[in-house]
Amino acid sequence: MGGGLKRLTKQAAARRLCRFWVRMKTVVYVDGLNLYYGVLRGTDLKWLDLYGLFQDQVLGPATCVEKVRYYTAPIKGSSSDDPRSPQRQQLYLRALKAYRGDCVDIVQGSIVRTTPILRLVNTPPDRSAAKVRVLQLTEKQTDVNLAADLLSDACHGRCEQAVVCSNDRDLVGSASCGSARPSGSRDWSPRAGPRPALCFQPPEQARELVQAA
């Protein structure tokens, strides 16, 4: 047996050993726009197979990814640098769903367009234009949907490990209590819930999320 394992790569050996392991049931929660603007924008890596990325590259054979939940919002062509962006986004979402089927859930929020008046960072000496009206695009529902699903899955025992791919500090609360779920009563036990894991986008990691995990 030892000689056989020596001829195997580490990855192949791990896969063989995993036949005798109980693989950890995992759900992955991906903040789509956070991932795009944090890592993918300006690269050739936009056509990601999210399920394959986490199952084969990030988590490995000891993990069984039951579901990847991808949270995004339809972008608006009138507010994009490239008016073809909405079509490319929808094409990617259709391709992802067609390729991975039931392994990937796509949860869509919305993008709200407003034109608030904001103060300039560098105010002119005569203060003639201390404030200007700007176009502001705000993503709505995405972080709320992700947090609600994370807590629901933890509460109902749908996974043993929850992996959150985001750098959004708004998720600190759900990441903190996502590891607690009912243990046969109304009492909550921090040790009874899924094992939390976090995937961050560079260049900076949200310290609060690291502490919450």
pTM given for the model: 0.73
Helical residues (DSSP H) of 142-181, grouped into ranges = 142-155, 172-177
Tokens 């001829």 belong to: 7
Measure the CA–CA gap between 28 and 49, rounded to whole angstroms: 13
Q: Where does the pLDDT of residue 23 fall: very low under 50, low under 70, confident under 90, or very high at 90 and above?
A: confident
pLDDT tens sequence across 60-76: 888 999 999 999 999 88
Q: Where does the pLDDT of residue 182 fall: very low under 50, low under 70, confident under 90, or very high at 90 and above?
A: very low
Q: State residue 189's pLDDT score.
A: 41
Q: State residue 188's pLDDT score.
A: 36
Lowest-confidence pick of 16-20, 87-91, 187-191? 187-191
Q: Where does the pLDDT of residue 83 fall: very low under 50, low under 70, confident under 90, or very high at 90 and above?
A: confident
DSSP assignment string, 30-65? EEHHHHIIIIITTSS--S--HHHIIIIIII-TTEEE
Tokens of 67: 């579901």
Q: Where does the pLDDT of residue 186 fall: very low under 50, low under 70, confident under 90, or very high at 90 and above?
A: very low
CATH architecture of 20-110+140-212: 3-Layer(aba) Sandwich (3.40)
Mean pLDDT of 20-36: 85
Of residues 73 and 20, more confidence is placed in 73
